[in-house]
């Protein structure tokens, strides 16, 4: 009961929406196999399974943006951070991304995100 309270009930206490007031729709290849259990766990009164649930996933694939994420973890003290080494890492990741995009790389948007963690910060936080 404690696990269920922490994993299922607690997030909804912070939300404006109560899932019990909505229906849930299954989509994708395995969606219909899981939707009833999810509805039971969240106490959602209605589960809708369309005749071709995989079509929605296929449509989403067709209309979504083409994305290629490339990530590098670098551990170095901030005081000894080497801008040249970091630039080389960013350049390598950009090259990998453009190669992954292939013929679609022309005009691609490159977005660089960085995060810094202090030595005292837990990765499991």
Q: What does the pLDDT read at residue 123?
A: 54
Higher-scoring residue by pLDDT: 22, 18? 22
| Cβ–Cβ under 8 Å, residues 82 and 55 | no
Q: What is the 3-state secondary structure (H, E, C) of 43-88?
A: CCCEEECCCCHHHHHHHHHHHCCCCCCCCCCCCCCHHHCCHHHHHH
pLDDT-derived band at 53 (thresholds 50, 70, 90) equals confident
Quote the CA–CA distance of 123 and 102 in Å, as a whole number.
34
Quote the CA–CA distance of 76 and 113 in Å, as a whole number.
17
Whether the predicted pLDDT of 43 surpasses 60: yes
């Amino acid at each position: 009961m404690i696990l269920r309270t922490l994993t299922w009930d607690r997030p909804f206490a912070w939300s404006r929406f109560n899932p019990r007031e909505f229906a849930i729709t299954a989509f994708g290849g395995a969606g219909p196999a899981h939707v009833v259990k999810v509805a039971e766990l969240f106490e959602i009164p209605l589960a809708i399974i369309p005749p071709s649930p995989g079509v929605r996933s296929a449509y989403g694939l067709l209309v979504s943006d083409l994305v290629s994420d490339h990530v590098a973890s670098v551990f170095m003290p901030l005081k000894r951070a080497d801008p040249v080494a970091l630039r080389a890492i960013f350049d390598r990741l950009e090259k990998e991304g453009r190669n992954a995009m292939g013929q679609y790389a022309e005009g691609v948007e490159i977005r660089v995100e960085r995060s810094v963690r202090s030595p005292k910060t837990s990765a499991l936080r």
